[in-house]
Amino acid sequence: MAEFRRSHVDAIVQRLSEPPQRLIAVFGPRQTGKTTATRQGLQQIGPRHRYEAIDAPEPRADHASATSEADYAVFGPIRRDARWLQEVWEQSRHHAWTSPQGFVLVLDEIQKIEQWSEIVKGLWDADRASGCPLHVVVLGSAPLLMQAGLSESLAGRFEPIHVRHWSYPEMADAFGYSLDEYVYFGGYPGAAALSHDQERWRAYIRGALVEPNIERDVLAMTRVDKPALLKRLFEFGALYSGQILSFNKMLGSLQDAGNTTTLTRYLELLSQAGLLTGLSKHTERRVSAKASIPKLNVLNTALMSTASGYSFEEARADRTHWGRLVESAVGAHLVNTASPATAVKYWRDRNYEVDFVLQRGPQIVGIEVKSGHTPTANRGLLEFERRFQPRAAVVVGDSGVPLHEFLTEPADYWFEAP
């Protein structure tokens, strides 16, 4: 079977084929294939590159053969710090100047070096002044810290490649997932091989994805005064994905003395980490939209399935739960595929409700999900059309766009679809 390649590989190769005008920043949640895509891109351009994983085990002098002696000598464990980064960069510059095709330096998990963005800024600016043909690719699994470093110190000096959770077509092509399997098991490629053993699969999701994501990518990288509250918020949100819940109700359920401001910030941190988001209510008044009651939605349905404790068979048998899983899969797909200019929201007014609303500038699209657990009448969508005159009103499922077709198109497609 040929190795599966995501579209990000072509994006990386294209940028590496151009003169190095900007850094290439590849970032996204854990286990979404950032390193794999980068390595596949490097294979395509040939041997003129150097890949360094900041979090790799530190080799000792008697195991230094993996690093060329012409680059640097190893005396004991390597300390990957600012000095090391400068040395690696200088050695890569030498290769770039002496290679007819230039050179590529890849720094994986760059955010683990203190003050990395300031160091990279100085080195990159020096290369631009000298015209050095060195491409630099930085990767990170902590979107919070990556984005902070890029926006604060490297504004205008990088081109981002956002790696999102895997889509249904990707999981189907790479691992043979059926539609129902994708709805339940979600889009984590590293967990696909364990789906036949659901206990092992759930243990992997918790231990290899959720815990490291929260502990290393959120708590270790960002000030969080109430880490226990943040963890409980994630667990609560994953369990109640697809539901509209006020922050005050959440605080009561979480049994914590925090406030809504704290909860709002923690939900934003979880969203940036690619775990859980809170969709805001669509309204004509921008101020009230920010303060609206959020609709919780996991960004990968594997998180909801793990939190629920339902087996695949039990989840399919419970039509109400399965309906929320389907709705959460649609919401995750919309958030993960929406362009930066498109916001994903919901709408509710008294007894009228629309599951999702896409907004791009003045244009809006209403989306209602029908999976057999709700009445067939689309009262909410009809009222939404009457009030807002959307660009399109889409029904997903019963008598509308089949779910498998909807999950094939990115969110912005519905602004242009006939």
Report yes or no on 331 lying in a domain.
yes
Cα-to-chain-centroid distance, residue 261: 24
Q: Which domain holds residue 153?
A: 7-162
| 54 & 96 share domain | yes
Which residue is listed with tokens 């880490």?
A: 227
Please say whether the beta carbons of 338 and 207 come within 8 A: no
Among candidate residues 128, 147, 162, the one where a domain is terminated: 162
Residues 234, 203 share a domain: yes
The sign one gets for the Cα dihedral 189, 193, 198, 200 is negative
Report the range of poorest mean pLDDT among 42-46, 166-170, 202-206, 274-278: 42-46
Tens digit of each residue's pLDDT (9 = 90 or more) over 318-337: 999 999 999 999 999 999 99
The candidate with the shortest Cα–Cα distance to 84, out of 65, 62, 105, 63, is 105
Residue 67 has pLDDT above 50, yes or no: no
Looking at the fold, whether 154 and 173 belong to one and the same domain comes out as no
Domain with residue 29: its CATH number is 3.40.50.300
Residue 238 inside a domain? The answer is: yes
99: exposed, middle or buried (C-beta count within 10 Å: 0-12, 13-18, 19+)? middle
pTM recorded for the entire structure: 0.88
- Helices 227-239 and 301-308, axial angle in degrees (round to 10): 90
pLDDT, tens only, 253-271: 887 667 888 899 999 999 9
Same-domain status, 101 and 216: no
323: nearest Cα among 418, 389, 242, 395: 242
- Please check whether residue 1 lies inside any domain of the structure: no
Whether residue 2 lies inside any domain: the answer is: no
Query: Which residue, chain included where needed, has tokens 């009809």?
Result: 382
Residue in the structure block whose two tokens are 């094939």: 408
Tokens describing residue 22: 């900007």
Do 155 and 177 sit in the same domain of this protein?
A: no
Structural domain tally of the chain?
2
**137 and 260 share a domain?**
no
Task: Quote the pLDDT of residue 286.
Answer: 60
Q: pLDDT digits over 342-362, tens only?
A: 999 999 998 999 999 999 999
For residue 322, being part of any structural domain is answered with: yes
Residues paired with 190 in a beta bridge = none
Q: How far apart are CA 385 and CA 396, in angstroms?
A: 16
What pLDDT, on a 0 to 100 scale, did the predictor assign at position 374?
A: 53
Same domain, yes or no, for 99 and 190?
no
Q: Is the dihedral of CA 374, 377, 381, 384 positive or negative?
A: negative
DSSP letters for 182-199? HHHH-S-GGGGGGTTSHH
Written as six digits, the tokens of 225 are: 């005064």
Q: Are 336 and 403 in the same domain?
A: yes
Domain boundary among 162, 197, 218: 162
Question: Are both 108 and 236 inside the same structural domain?
Answer: no
Say how many C-beta atoms besides its own lie within 10 A of residue 119's C-beta. 19
Residue 258 lies in a domain: yes
Residue 79 in any domain: the answer is yes
Token pair recorded at residue 244: 């509209």
Of 302, 54, 76, the closest CA to residue 184 belongs to 302
pLDDT score, position 217: 77
389 shares a domain with 248: yes
- CA–CA separation, 178 and 144 (whole Å): 33
Domain annotation covers residue 307: yes
Interval 178-216: pLDDT, tens: 999 999 999 999 999 999 999 999 999 999 999 988 987
Task: Tell which of 143, 162, 181 closes a domain.
Answer: 162
pLDDT-derived band of residue 90, with 50, 70 and 90 as boundaries?
very high
Residues ≥6 apart with Cβ < 8 Å to 119: 82, 85, 86, 113
Does 405 lie in the same domain as 331?
yes
100 and 186 assigned to the same domain = no
